[in-house]
Amino acid sequence: MLVKGLLFIAPSLMLLSCGNNESAKEDTTSKDVVKKDSSVAEVPETTSYSLPSPLQIASIFKKSGLKYKADLTSQMKDPAKYTTNLSKSINLGVYSGDLSYCVLNKQSQEAMKYMKLCRGLADNLGMGSVFEQANLSKRFEKNLENEDSLAYIIAELQMVTDMYLDENDQQQITSIVFAGAWIESMYIGSKVYEKGKDKSLNNKLAEQMNILNSIINALKAVEKKDAAIGGLITDLKSIKEIYDALPSIKNNPDGADSDKPMSLTDDEVASLTKKISELRTKFVNGL
């Protein structure tokens, strides 16, 4: 489980360090974790369903020109409004995506609000204690003006959370949370693209669609743990069906699994955005 956690955290931190040479100022244990963990970045994946973190996806989009738009993040709701484990988990993912988006765009006060919402949903899922490990919540609030430190803390929090869920045989929450984070990241990315038509962002939207198969497979692997997961799989498949039918993808010999840079037309992005928006609205409204 420790190896799994380290495999998760290392790529996220490598992505962040590529775009920022300024060292983090936080004098806490998170730096020690990063220094010790960096050596495992090249360890082979132990599962075919390994997924990147919300922070990693946000970083990829940012490096492709994604700008901060305050009106795109999910409206903040009382965590108590989500009553099922599926809605709690998927919106924990949505808020995690918003949290990463805010942190990487230096929106510290908004980031603090989403951190509290994540904590509230984690409490409702019975795993709020992970926020107290290594004083993660207090360290986050203390370092609000330090983007590097906040990113390290988020990555460490995700590692601790994944380990907690593994230890308590609740791996399905990890997969559901990531599905929510992916939907939110794709929603934000597609909406920003609509406003600016940035070609590099277009490529990243298509590239991130390649993760969808892994998300669906990861959910199928834990489907028996929660009967509601089947509906989520069906929802995600509806996005994949639209994407696979787009001419730019359909006419590509390698299809959605191509390793080559993909580019969609504006109409194709609009078609994809419409479906992602529909599902995102469904999720944030509590399914």
Tell me the pLDDT tens digit for each residue of 220-271: 999 999 999 999 999 999 999 999 999 998 887 565 455 566 789 999 999 9
pLDDT value of residue 258: 53
Tokens (6 digits) for 54? 């919300």
What's the structural domain count of the chain?
2
Residue 141 in domain = yes
pLDDT value of residue 48: 40
- Split at pLDDT 50, 70, 90, the class of 29 is very low
pLDDT value of residue 6: 35
Same domain, 4 and 126: yes
Same domain, 134 and 190: no
Which pTM does this prediction carry? 0.81
pLDDT value of residue 200: 83
Same domain, 3 and 129: yes
Specify whether the CB–CB gap between 132 and 156 falls below 8 A. Answer: no
Please give the single-letter amino acid code of residue 30. S
Per-residue model confidence as pLDDT tens digits over 63-75: 888 889 888 999 8
Percent of the chain with pLDDT over 70: 79
Residue 249 in domain = yes
Q: Where in the sequence is the domain holding 161, given as residue range(s)? A: 1-11+84-169
pLDDT value of residue 253: 57
Specify whether the CB–CB gap between 149 and 110 falls below 8 A. Answer: no
Residue 181 in domain = no
pLDDT value of residue 38: 35
Burial class, 21, CB count within 10 angstroms (exposed 0-12 / middle 13-18 / buried 19+): exposed
Same domain, 141 and 253: no
pLDDT value of residue 30: 40
Specify whether the CB–CB gap between 52 and 12 falls below 8 A. Answer: yes
Same domain, 217 and 158: no
Per-residue model confidence as pLDDT tens digits over 117-149: 999 999 999 998 898 887 888 899 999 989 899
Distance CA 24, CA 14 (A): 14
Distance CA 49, CA 69 (A): 31
Residue 264 in domain = yes
pLDDT value of residue 18: 41
- DSSP helix/strand/coil, 112: helix
Distance CA 231, CA 73 (A): 24
**Which residue among 169, 197, 217 closes a domain?**
169
Same domain, 116 and 203: no
Distance CA 37, CA 248 (A): 40
- Average pLDDT over the chain reads 81
Inform me whether the pLDDT recorded for 184 exceeds 50.
Answer: yes
Same domain, 165 and 191: no
